[in-house]
Amino acid sequence: MKAVLLVGGMGTRLRPLTYRIPKPLIPVIGKPLIMHVIDSLPKEVDEVIIPIGYKKKSMEEYLVKNPPRRKITLVDEHEPMGTGGAVKNVEDHIDGRFLVINGDSISSLDIAKLIDFHRTKKAFATISLWPVENPTPYGVVDLDVDKRIRRFQEKPKREEAFSNLINAGAYALEREILDYIGKGFVSMEREVFPKVLDRGMYGMEFEGYWIDCGRREDLLRAFWTLMGNDMVHIDRRCVHEGAVVRGPVTARAESVIAGAVIGPRAYISERAVVGPASTVERSVLLEDARVGTRCTIVDSIVDAGVTVPDGARITSHILSNAGPDAE
């Protein structure tokens, strides 16, 4: 079975980090976001197809350096085709029932279960569903007792939302759905889903977690969710005199925690340094980041290789040296 991974977005809300690195390659607890998704695919998925335009080169380089166990095919998308258009664009690679996954979230969804559910319901399309408080930035469903979707609406007004159950962005689809996708820019959610409701579209709810990693605070939440509670993963050699570590904290190899306060909630990547009398709380330091002395870093992400000058206070920020022309 093939899976199409949608990663075409520009990740604008994660700038300036996404000037340096495309969102799918942002390391979340040491593994690119997209690899979390790919690794969650069941065995029966023998090929992952990724339509891609923006920053294709960095993706190719990553795959060459870190060859995945599964076949991954990158297909050129010269300009953004929309979520439906991107799928249509790779139709020659799709040979039967297939999956489509939005590559910008991490979740505990059991995709094998989604496929089973789809089979059992003899569905034309099955989408995964997640409950949220405010459904307006998402696709929202009206579900009947048999879990059949009666109506689907993308980004409704608050008062018009059918329910608080939203499209979590993982679909099992019959190949014939491709016939419902026209040429050019097509939105799967706005144009295709509403058209196939009467062919049998179903929704499967799941439990655990689902995090759309579009914004800094969500990306940080992905770290804390995957790290779990109360865990301290830290090599004693990294912790120097006077340091205070409050879990959950992970500090990777060759990082240096000088007499600093780390956590609660901190992820210190390889070779990152936290100087004396500094605090790093609810924050992530990517590789080789250097936090000087007497700094305070809260709810923030410090990009790889960035130096935070002594005494700096960084709150709710993504700190990166990368700008719009970063290669």
CA 243 – CA 293 distance, rounded (Å): 13
104 lines the binding site for Mg ion (CB under 5 A): yes
281 binds Mg ion (CB under 5 A): no
To ligand GDD, the closest distance from the beta carbon of 234 in angstroms equals 33
Shortest CB 129 distance to Mg ion, Å: 16
Count the Cβ atoms, other than its own, within 10 Å of residue 141. Answer: 26
* Residue 51 near ligand GDD by CB under 6 A: yes
Does 103 bind ligand GDD (CB under 6 A)? Our answer is: yes
Instruction: Decide if residue 7 touches ligand GDD (CB under 6 A).
Output: yes
Residue with tokens 């023998």: 46
Q: Which long-range contacts (CB under 8 A, 24 or more apart) does 11-14 make?
A: 11/104, 11/214, 13/214, 13/215, 13/216, 14/214, 14/215, 14/216, 14/219, 14/318
83 binding ligand GDD? (CB under 6 A): yes
Write down the least CB distance from residue 264 to ligand GDD, Å.
Answer: 28
Nearer CB in complex with ligand GDD: 13/97? 13
Using alpha carbons only, what angle is made at residue 211 by residues 205 and 215, rounded to the nearest 5 degrees?
145
Contact stretch for Mg ion (CB under 5 A) within 66-74, 82-90, 97-105, 115-123: 97-105
User: Whose CB is nearest to ligand GDD?
Assistant: 8
The yes or no reply on residue 82 touching ligand GDD (CB under 6 A) is yes
The DSSP-derived string for 164-190 is SEEEEEEEEE-GGGGGG--SSS--III
Q: Which among 46, 56, 47, 41 has a CA at the least distance from the CA of 7? A: 56
Token code pair at residue 121: 């319901």
- Quick one: which of 169, 203, 248, 263 contacts ligand GDD (CB under 6 A)? 169
List residues bridging with 74 in a β-sheet.
Answer: 50
Write down the least CB distance from residue 11 to ligand GDD, Å: 8
Closer CB to ligand GDD, 128 or 300, in the complex = 128
- Least CB distance to ligand GDD at residue 220 (A): 17
CA 48 – CA 67 distance, rounded (Å)? 13
Q: Which residues bind ligand GDD (CB under 6 A)?
A: 6-9, 51, 77, 80-83, 86, 102-105, 138-139, 154, 166-167, 169, 189, 212
Q: Which residues bind Mg ion (CB under 5 A)?
A: 104
